[in-house]
Amino acid sequence: MIPRDVEPRLLRGFVAVAEELHFTRAAARLYVAQQALSRDIRRLEQTLGAALFVRTTRAVELSADGERLLPLARRVLAAHEELAAAFTAPRALLVDLNTDGPCTPRTVLERARELAPDCELMARFESGLTYAAAEVVAGRLDVSFGYAEGLDPALRARLAVAPVRYEPLAVLLPEDHPLAALESVPLDALAGETVYAGAGNPRTVEWTGLARELFAGRGIEVAPPAPVAIGKEEFLRVMAKTRNPVLVAVGFLDMPQCVKRPLTDPVPLSPLSMVWRRGFTHPGLDALRAAAAGLAADGGWLVPPPGSRLPKGLTPGPGGG
């Protein structure tokens, strides 16, 4: 007998377990108890007359029937969401800007608000793409920005990615630091320095990885893990104590008692991308994508300047995902 009335909730639970391959993580992602999720999976298996997972004491894997169901379930859920969206006003779109200050993501958000004035685009400040991307996949955020190529491949595979800008990097220095007298700082002038790049912060693993690649072979050390400073006052206090330069993008907000100097010879670039869940649709997302594309075209954001350097393995191009 062909089942005709499978509840979307059961399919949603199945897809979460199929993607996580872990009942506890899938239950947390859906905000349900693990026991309730297990009951839903058993009910779906009984409805379909098929075992969807192979369970052992160490792992959960999709069965052959589970593999066959997964793309069908995703299509059904997408159609269900499309149907619901057609008769309800779109909810607010949660957009992580990484930092509460002037930055490229804020510029994109403000342009998107102009393009879609009827959409509610709400800013969030999660301070690190590694953390924010996991929140996007879990559905607790909708969009974020950052160095997507530095994410764990398994996490990145679940995201759509659109390049936004090749951002030149800079170094933030105490105003009395010897390099502060320069208008720009050659990268090799940081030899012998210990530079803070978020090491030990689980939210910013991608940024620390970018710094390690940039500094490799140049005699520049990444500062060891330290308690994460929250807020401008704490940031300045820790910086005054350690006196470590800080790796930032050139658009990073200005800080009291500090100077920001662009890095040169070569000009290191951080590829900033916008990320969202694969298959996710929302008019606000359409506006963000249009805003980013328009600003990039008008400002040459995706044209590397002469004498610049992209991370290894990256070549200029539109990319996308």
Please give the pLDDT value at position 37: 94
Please give the pLDDT value at position 320: 41
Type of residue found at 79: A
Q: Could you tell me where the beta strands, DSSP code E, fall in 183-244?
A: 185-186, 194-195, 221-222
Please give the pLDDT value at position 177: 92
Q: Which domains does the chain have, with CATH numbers?
A: 8-86 (1.10.10.10), 90-321 (3.40.190.290)
Please give the pLDDT value at position 306: 86
Please give the pLDDT value at position 319: 43
Please give the pLDDT value at position 58: 81
**Positions in the chain short of pLDDT 50:** 1, 319-321
**Cβ–Cβ < 8 Å for 249, 170:** yes
C-alpha to C-alpha distance for 146 and 144, rounded to whole angstroms: 7
pTM of the model: 0.70
**Cβ–Cβ < 8 Å for 309, 210:** no
Give one DSSP letter per residue of 127-144, joined into a string.
S-HHHHHHHHHHTS-SEE
